[in-house]
Structure 1
Amino acid sequence: MKISQTSLLWLLLVVQAVCATFFLTDAAMDWTGGESPGFRHLHGFELFLSLALIAGLMATVTLIREQAKRVRDLQRQLGVAQGAFAQIIETQFTEWKLSNAERDVAMLSLKGLSIAEIAQLRQTKEGTIKAQSAAVYRKAGVTGRLQLLSFFVEELLPDTVSSQ
């Protein structure tokens, strides 16, 4: 049975909490001079707990390195996916024979900007953006922004649909 990374981190936390509690209690007894007979000859136990803390530190460092590697791998995969998705969009825009202005409007529309925001960004009138959007929808064979977005979202989803 393989222990999960989360379970291992919780286990390390418990070990470190037990060790910290023991050492704080021992230090408080040393400071107050109220050493109990049970704590007087625990040098072997203190050594064991110290070694447990060191092992916990090494395990934590290992887990941090593994987590950092996993994050780097996921970021790389996300970059590849973003690049592939951008390429799919560009290929489709070329297939639809969109002009440069229509490409810009379509891309900004896919990103969720409103007609007014696109007009402001492109420094043109809203009527121009509406006309370019209509041309994009006509060339794409869709009726509006939602269908245009859906066209590309379908590329991300698996072909299989589960029936329940």
Structure 2
Amino acid sequence: MSDDKGGKLLRIVSASVFAVIAALIALDLLLDSRDGVGWLHVLLEASVLVAALFGLVVMLREFGRVSLDLTIARDDAARWRSEHKALLSGLSVAIARQFSDWGLTQAESEIGFLLLKGFSHHEIAELRGTSERTAREQARSLYRKSGLTGRNQLSAFFLEDLLQPAKAD
């Protein structure tokens, strides 16, 4: 399930829970008032109803803000990728060439790209339909063939010279 679908489901379930709680409290309040329950009990239940409704409104507003922030972040990422498509393509080609120079297999190269993208061994295994142990072993083989010690050095190998500090004006 994608994060977007999972987030939508979470919002629906959470809002439904608050709405059901509020409805049950309202029903109980109505039944209690018909049965002649004391005013203090009715007042307490009415307070819980107001709190549940307030919680529902606050939660829906927060979910709205998070959804908006997520949309803005996705739009920014899409814009950035679009503006730098040629650079990213060139970088991908250069990385693939370096992987070839290191003598990596196709599987090790795939692992290398996924490691550079920030995926965990577990996520890589799921994406590739292999075991986590296989993904780990292929990553170790990549590090051994490249002479690097791990994920940090792999990332630094490709990014170190690209990421120069901004010059002060």
TM-score, structure 1 length as denominator? 0.49
* Bigger Cα Rg: 1
What TM-score do the two structures reach when normalised by structure 2?
A: 0.48
